[in-house]
Amino acid sequence: MNTKITLAIQKSGRLNQGTIELLSRCGIKVSNGGNHLKALAEGFPMEVLLLRDDDIPQYVADGVADIGILGLNEVLEKGKDVEIVRKLGFSRCRLSIAVPSAVSYTGREWLSGKRIATSYPEILRSFLKENSLDAEIHTISGSVEITPGIGMADAIFEIVSSGGTLLSNNLKEVDVIMKSEAVLIANKNLNQTKIELLKKLEFRIEAVRKAQRNKYILLNAPKNRLNEIIGLIPGMKSPTILPLAQEGWFSLHSVVNEDDFWEVIGKLKDAGAEGILVVPIEKMVI
Ligand SMILES: Nc1ncnc2c1ncn2[C@@H]1O[C@H](COP(=O)(O)OP(=O)(O)OP(=O)(O)O)[C@@H](O)[C@H]1O
Ligand SMILES: O=P(O)(O)OC[C@H]1O[C@H](OP(=O)(O)OP(=O)(O)O)[C@H](O)[C@@H]1O
Ligand SMILES: [Mg+2]
């Protein structure tokens, strides 16, 4: 049988590039299809639907697409019955309450009785309910940041990333309500063949994500401080150690997590490591 898994991705916009890049790192080439809404993938038994991100949860819930990639914010906003398979680490942003810079925001109770403009009314509604707040929700589909300036709203609930859009509209972020990033979602009733394909795709994504979170590190270490240095970079199992041509020195190869990277480098230098090289990892399978 010649089964393919159908993946829905954003046709154009903030998620498109990150999605195509991730798939490409997974060895899956998707032509952007020009004006077409369907594309074939090379390197994986997959068909790709190119859609507006708002429509992806519905397509996946209905089984028109088996899986989809979109922002967690949009998944939660639409509230469709889909499985969130995993986070993907790109298109990171947050959904926040922002108010005009001059406002002295005293806390969430300040929002009571106010008009809040947003493109995410359902997430906002849940937030207000959880906090027993009564506010007016004004739903608009774009340019939310201009609404306080033109007297349409007292506050906004919008996506924030660098904060640049808020700043240029004289607004300040006062409360982060949720963090978002691109996620992989799946239909809850996939057949066994498609579950197997999804597992294969997840395996590739995991290898790519691990590689992105880690760096390969090579350094020279003096023999008398070898154990101390090994303790700093334990690696996947243990570091590779090779003797250098120069007596009393060794070359150490290992893996270091991106989060600890700068701290570890400092400690390695203090421990006498020299000639430290750090290189990106293409794929990582443990
Ligand atoms: N400034 C940002 N930084 C990081 N991620 C963002 C940013 N803005 C939006 N995103 C994420 O990217 C997703 C898509 O944003 P985009 O602006 O492309 O949506 P859209 O205009 O609704 O697109 P579409 O035309 O497909 O409906 C958002 O739902 C959010 O998860
Ligand atoms: O904090 P920042 O880095 O400024 O990013 C936040 C802005 O980015 C997104 O809009 P986008 O730029 O995609 O424009 P659009 O949705 O209005 O097309 C989002 O809707 C915010 O307005
Ligand atoms: Mg959209």
Query: In this predicted structure, what is the pLDDT of residue 236?
Result: 81
3-state secondary structure the chain: CCCCEEEEEECCCCCHHHHHHHHHHCCCEECCCCCCCEEEEECCCEEEEEECHHHHHHHHHHCCCCEEEEEHHHHHHHCCCCEEEEECCCCCEEEEEEEECCCCCCCHHHHCCCEEEECCHHHHHHHHHHCCCCCEEEECCCCHHHCCCCCCCCEEEEEECCCHHHHHCCEEEEEEEEEECEEEEECCCCCHHHHHHHHHHHHHHHHHHHHHHEEEEEEEEEHHHHHHHHHHCCCCCCCEEEECCCCCEEEEEEEEEHHHHHHHHHHHHHCCCEEEEEEECCCCCC
Q: What pLDDT digit, counting tens, does each position of 64-113 carry?
A: 999 999 999 999 999 999 999 999 999 999 999 999 999 999 999 999 99
Instruction: Supply the pLDDT for residue 31.
Output: 77
Do the domain assignments include residue 202?
A: no
Q: Do 14 and 153 have their domain in common?
A: no
Q: List average pLDDT for each run of 10 residues in the chain, which is 286 residues long.
A: 90 94 96 77 95 97 98 98 97 98 96 98 98 98 97 98 98 98 98 98 96 94 95 87 95 92 93 95 90
Q: What are the structure tokens assigned to 276, written together? A: 């430290």
Domain range spanning residue 261? 214-280
Determine the pLDDT at residue 274: 96
Looking at the structure of the chain, the number of domains it has is 3
pLDDT at residue 256 in the model:
93
Instruction: Give the CATH number for residue 140.
Output: 3.40.190.10
166 and 128 within one domain: yes
Whether 64 and 126 map to the same domain: the answer is no
Mutate to test the pocket of ligand 1, among 11, 12, 15 (most ligand atoms within 8 A of CB): 15
Is residue 209 a part of any domain in this protein?
no
* Ligand 1 atom closest to 16 (CA): 18
Please indicate, yes or no, if residue 196 is contained in any of the structural domains.
no
pLDDT score of 258:
85
**What is this model's ipTM?**
0.96
Atom 26, ligand 1: residue with shortest CA distance? 52
158 shares its domain with 186: no
Q: Please report the pLDDT score of residue 238 as a whole number.
A: 84
Distance 142 CA to ligand 3 centre (A): 10
What's the confidence (pLDDT) of residue 52?
96
60 CA → ligand 1 middle, Å: 19
Mark whether 46 and 166 lie in a shared domain.
Answer: no
Same domain, 122 and 14: no
Same domain, 98 and 73: no
Residue from 12, 54, 74, 161 to probe ligand 2 pocket by mutation (most atoms less than 8 Å from CB): 161
Distance 70 CA to ligand 3 centre (A): 10
Amino acid letter, 120? Y
**CA–CA separation, 284 vs 210, rounded Å?**
6
Distance 2 CA to ligand 2 centre (A): 41
